[in-house]
Amino acid sequence: MDICVVGTGYVGLVSGVCFSDLGNRVTCVDVDESKIKKLLEGKSPIYEPGIEDFIQKNLNEGRLFFTTDLKKAMESAQIILIAVGTPRKQNGEADLTYIENVAESIGQNLQDYKIIVTKSTVPVGTGKIIKEIISRHAGDVKFDVASNPEFLREGSAIYDTLNMERAVIGVESEKAANLLKELHKPLTSNIVLTDIETAEMIKYASNAFLATKISFINEIANVCELLGADVTKVAEGMGYDKRIGNAFLQAGIGYGGSCFPKDTSALVAIAEQAGYDFRIVKDVEQVNKEQRFKVVDKLKVALKNDLKGKKISILGLAFKPNTDDMRDAPSVDVIPILQNEGAEVVAYDPVASENAQKVIPNLQVTDTMQEAILNSDAIVILTEWNEFKEMDLTEVARLVKQKIIIDGRNIFSIEKMEYMKFYYASIGRKTVSFN
């Protein structure tokens, strides 16, 4: 098939690259000239393990193209995938400016029948808005709109796409249904065929449910701390029950990233506009907002409320491992508090330092973990990179000034920390103190 993908962020780029690897002819369009220039050189504007090999292979084999020219890109396409951003507005709603602009441009350039598919996460009813905008410009040219929400995770985006658990296809014509089913055939046999509004809702419901699991286990963790129970064991004990499942039960400093925070607040806004008060999701958001500050409280306890002049080593800046994405990362809220309290904050992240310095003022970063923890008064773990899980604690003990670790991601066992004689405060488990 011939596909045009609009937007080369995570979703556009990864779907474009994967569909092209499956033998389709794919042209990816972006208004950002610097991104297209990089992509034409086979370089990825986003950090995603394995993506550059995929880009280069498909560019070389002549199935993958990049351009800033939407008109040219959509000329021979049967399917146009819209994958532009839908960021959060001040009032919590999804901002549809990019979507509406793309719909205008598609309408202005539509010459023959195409299916215009929204992969971006958009409020229920957006498919209708896109259709209206395109119709205004398209004259007599026939087209279909469809919804095909994306479920990939950053850091495992290619794997998630090539091994997708389901494809949700929201359509209003049989022709569109057949073509989109055909497109997804090599990827999954679990195709949920529905109307456009339902498909749009499936995406928000999925993200809000996963966010709910996280806030739920974090509240269990907070109660565990008060009662002396261990949340990691509680999660394990719950997770064997297939009705519950073990995924998304890792307690910590809560969720961040480009999706859960904005999509939960968009769902609250969508419900509100429909006249419904979505109480559970509002509480999920509130719990999550507070959870990231647990590490600050624990650090203050460890350092007896005196952060002034203390060297605090932050390990992990990105919102999760295997990405350099800083959108809604806990580090963005945590680090300025420590700086304001007079601490000397030094941070290390395997890939996100450059992006972090754009959003956290006066952030001092190092090239290695060892430099970051040298003479440290306390280490604070904000992201569970493998490099941190595998750190040599004997070496750490030698480098730091005080053997204090505040772990926002529960990466070490309590037993190991007791054995190594560290002060170790984590989430939802007992604190290991100096004897």
Ligand X SMILES: O=c1ccn([C@@H]2O[C@H](COP(=O)(O)OP(=O)(O)O[C@H]3O[C@H](CO)[C@@H](O)[C@H](O)[C@H]3O)[C@@H](O)[C@H]2O)c(=O)[nH]1
Ligand Y SMILES: NC(=O)c1ccc[n+]([C@@H]2O[C@H](COP(=O)([O-])OP(=O)(O)OC[C@H]3O[C@@H](n4cnc5c(N)ncnc54)[C@H](O)[C@@H]3O)[C@@H](O)[C@H]2O)c1
Known binding residues for substrate are 151-154, 203, 248-252, 256, 320
**Least distance in Å: CB of 318 to ligand X?**
9
Window 244-273: residues binding ligand Y (CB under 6 A): 258-259
Other Cβ atoms within 10 Å of 266 Cβ, number? 25
* Site stretch for ligand X (CB under 6 A), options 28-36, 69-77, 129-137, 147-155: 147-155
**Least distance in Å: CB of 120 to ligand Y?**
3
Q: Which of 145, 234, 259, 381 binds ligand X (CB under 6 A)?
A: 259
Give the residue ranges of the annotated binding site for NAD(+).
30, 35, 86, 121, 154, 262, 327
For position 89 contacting ligand X by CB under 6 A, the verdict is: no
For residues 117 and 259, which CB has a smaller minimum distance to ligand Y in the complex? 259
How many alpha carbons lie under 13 Å from residue 81 in its C-beta half-sphere? Answer: 30
* Site stretch for ligand Y (CB under 6 A), options 51-59, 95-103, 384-392, 423-431: 95-103
For position 8 contacting ligand Y by CB under 6 A, the verdict is: yes
For residues 122 and 334, which CB has a smaller minimum distance to ligand Y in the complex? 122
Catalytic one of 4, 18, 224, 259: 259
Do the Cβ atoms of 266 and 93 come closer than 8 Å? yes
Task: Calculate the dihedral angle through the C-alpha atoms of 155, 46, 339, 434, rounding to the nearest 10 degrees.
Answer: 20
Do the Cβ atoms of 407 and 425 come closer than 8 Å? yes
Residues 6 or more apart whose CB falls under 8 angstroms from that of 288 comprise 211, 214, 215, 218, 254, 255, 260, 261
For residues 11 and 79, which CB has a smaller minimum distance to ligand Y in the complex? 11
Q: Which of 386, 370, 385, 374 is nearest to 344 (CA)?
A: 374
Distance set, CA 390 to CA 217, 233, 382, 412, 418 (Å)? 25, 21, 15, 10, 17
For position 85 contacting ligand Y by CB under 6 A, the verdict is: yes
Other Cβ atoms within 10 Å of 188 Cβ, number? 14
Window 153-172: residues binding ligand Y (CB under 6 A): 154
**Neighbour order of strands in the sheet with 143-147:** 64-67, 25-29, 2-6, 79-82, 114-118, 143-147, 167-170, 191-194
Q: Given the DSSP bridges, would you call strands 64-67 and 79-82 parallel, antiparallel or unpaired?
A: unpaired
Window 27-46: residues binding ligand Y (CB under 6 A): 29-32, 35
**Least distance in Å: CB of 257 to ligand Y?**
7
Token look-up 């963790």 returns 221
Q: Which of 22, 152, 381, 425 binds ligand X (CB under 6 A)?
A: 152
Rounded-to-integer distance, Cα 129 and Cα 107, Å: 12
For position 288 contacting ligand X by CB under 6 A, the verdict is: no
Q: Which of 118, 120, 121, 376 binds ligand X (CB under 6 A)?
A: 121
Distance set, CA 170 to CA 116, 135, 147, 191 (Å)? 12, 19, 5, 10
Is 224 among the residues known to form the active site? Answer: no
Rounded-to-integer distance, Cα 422 and Cα 394, Å: 10
For position 54 contacting ligand X by CB under 6 A, the verdict is: no
For residues 143 and 385, which CB has a smaller minimum distance to ligand X in the complex? 385
For residues 327 and 403, which CB has a smaller minimum distance to ligand Y in the complex? 327
State the catalytic residues: 259
Residues near ligand Y (CB under 6 A) are 6-12, 29-32, 35, 83-86, 98, 101-102, 120-121, 150, 152, 154, 258-259
Contacts with ligand X by CB under 6 A lie at: 121, 150-154, 207, 210, 214, 248-250, 252, 254-257, 259-260, 263, 319-320
